[in-house]
Each structure stands twice: as structure tokens, then as C-alpha cells.
């Protein structure tokens, strides 16, 4: 399982379109099972899974030392997304309250993977319709405005931001939070409570685009996501399925458009 995936994209450099290939960070779920039961699922970049689970178990208080477990390994081979942990009987007796505090109990399959996530979400979220278009220069200008809506970041250098705009790039709302997911929930909630969610057509993000952010935008029916940082491979896969346009600032001038470029129109 690779840590990166090679994707083809369109680079609009403010003058012309070019096709390029870029490596995107892989994002896959890892199911952690303790004593044969699902304990948690974490999204991670493939690699160092046993170390990740060991660190997770230590920081969660499941183990204190290597003597506290008798086995820690992949379920049915290293290509699976499941790691099982078996605790020493004496350790199990010490932490019953932790073992009862399982944060994830519904997924029992050893076949858990990013493709299943995309397919499951595709079954529950309707793809967005076409018909919305934005001028490419306007899209870049809209994304570059995000710094105006980050007072907490300017003070602390530690906050993410999300902002929503109409198709004409009229500002609707912005929000900041230490968590990028929270920032997006906040701004969607603001526009929803103002009764203007049907006007929200462009989402700008200060962070990278993970699949969860695509999912949230899809539920809010926002068809265009513009971000400072690049998406994960799983985010692109989900956006392709749900007909959401993903674009980020390019290394040079312009935008990298990762999927559904039909909504981004060249400047006349």
C-alpha cells in the first residue's frame, strides 16, 4: 500500500491550460481492534502501521509498556487495513473502563478501505448537479482572500479557516477553529442559520482537503472547493464521484484543478 498516488491534473497558469502529474498523499482508514473487538478507526497515510497502533495504544492508556500486550499485528496480512492487539490478562484486568470506552464499534470488516468509504458515501449523498460556473481569475482571487478572514491565525499561527461565497464571489461567512473540520462545520452552520445555504457555491479552505471535508461540502451542496493546500487522493476520488470541483493554488501562478473542471471557465 503506497503512501502517495500519482494523479493527473490541469494546471491553469493564468494564461493557458497544461496537463501535469502530481503525487497526492494517500489517506486510508486503519481499524484498531483490541481483544478481538473494534476499538477505533483512524485515518492515516499508509506506512508504519504497527508503530502507529503502538503509539495510539500508549497515548490512549491501553498499554503502559511492551509487557502489557502479547500480540500486535495485521489481520490477514500487511495489505489489510486492520491491526489487532491482544493484551496480557493482567493488563486487561487493570483497564476495564478504557476497554469499555470504545469510540468506534460499527465496522467489523477486515476489508475496510478507502474505496469502501467512497462507495458508502456515494450511496448516501446525491452527486451535485452541473450548471454553476466561475471565471478562473475570480476563483483565484476568491481563494486569495482567505487571509482576510483569519484574525486568529494572525494572532496565534494555529487556526484553520473556511469561508463560503456565492457564485459571484460575494462573501457569505467565514469561521476559524483549531480543527479544520470544526472550521468548516462552523461556517456551514452560520450560513445555514442565516437562511443562505442555497447561495453557497464556493468553499475556500486554508488547509489541505481531506475526504471528510469533501463529504461535509457535499452534504451542504457546495459544488466548488478551493484550497491553499492540496487534496488527499481519497478526497479526489470522493469528489470525482460526487461531481464536486476541487482546485488548489499552483506552485506558480494559477490553479491546479484535480477533478470536474467544467465549472471553472477560462477568462475571456
Active site residues: 110
Site of grid cell 475496510: 112
CA atoms within 13 A on the CB side of 44: 20
Q: CA 202 → CA 120, 127, 177, 241, distances in Å?
A: 25, 16, 19, 18
Check: CB of residue 118 under 8 Å from CB of residue 259: no
**From CA 121, how far away is CA 239, in angstroms rounded?**
11
**Positive/negative CA dihedral, 185, 149, 128, 117:** negative
Amino acid at each position: 500500500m503506497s503512501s502517495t498516488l500519482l494523479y493527473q491534473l490541469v494546471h491553469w497558469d493564468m494564461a493557458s491550460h497544461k496537463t501535469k502529474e502530481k503525487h497526492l498523499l494517500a489517506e486510508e482508514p486503519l481499524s484498531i481492534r483490541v481483544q478481538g473487538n473494534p476499538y477505533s478507526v483512524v485515518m492515516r497515510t499508509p506506512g508504519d502501521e504497527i508503530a502507529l497502533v503502538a503509539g495510539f495504544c500508549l497515548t490512549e492508556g491501553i498499554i503502559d509498556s511492551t509487557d502489557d500486550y502479547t500480540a500486535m499485528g495485521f489481520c490477514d496480512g500487511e495489505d489489510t487495513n486492520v491491526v489487532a492487539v491482544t493484551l496480557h490478562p493482567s493488563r486487561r484486568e487493570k483497564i476495564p473502563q478504557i476497554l469499555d470506552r470504545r469510540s468506534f464499534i460499527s465496522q467489523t470488516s477486515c476489508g475496510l478501505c478507502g474505496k469502501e468509504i467512497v462507495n458508502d458515501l456515494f450511496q448516501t449523498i446525491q452527486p451535485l448537479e452541473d450548471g454553476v460556473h466561475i471565471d478562473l481569475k475570480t476563483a483565484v482571487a476568491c481563494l486569495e482572500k482567505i487571509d482576510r478572514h483569519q484574525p486568529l491565525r494572525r494572532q496565534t499561527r494555529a487556526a484553520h479557516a473556511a469561508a463560503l461565497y456565492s457564485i459571484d464571489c460575494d462573501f457569505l461567512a467565514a469561521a476559524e477553529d483549531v480543527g479544520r473540520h470544526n472550521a468548516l462545520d462552523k461556517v456551514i452552520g452560520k450560513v445555514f442559520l442565516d437562511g443562505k445555504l442555497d447561495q453557497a457555491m464556493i468553499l475556500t479552505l486554508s488547509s489541505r482537503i481531506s475526504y471528510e471535508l469533501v463529504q461535509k461540502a457535499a452534504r451542504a451542496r457546495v459544488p466548488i472547493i478551493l484550497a491553499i493546500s492540496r487534496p488527499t487522493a481519497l478526497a479526489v476520488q470522493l469528489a470525482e464521484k460526487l461531481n464536486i470541483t476541487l482546485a488548489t493554488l499552483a506552485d506558480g501562478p494559477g490553479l491546479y484543478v484535480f477533478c470536474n473542471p467544467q465549472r471553472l471557465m477560462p477568462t475571456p
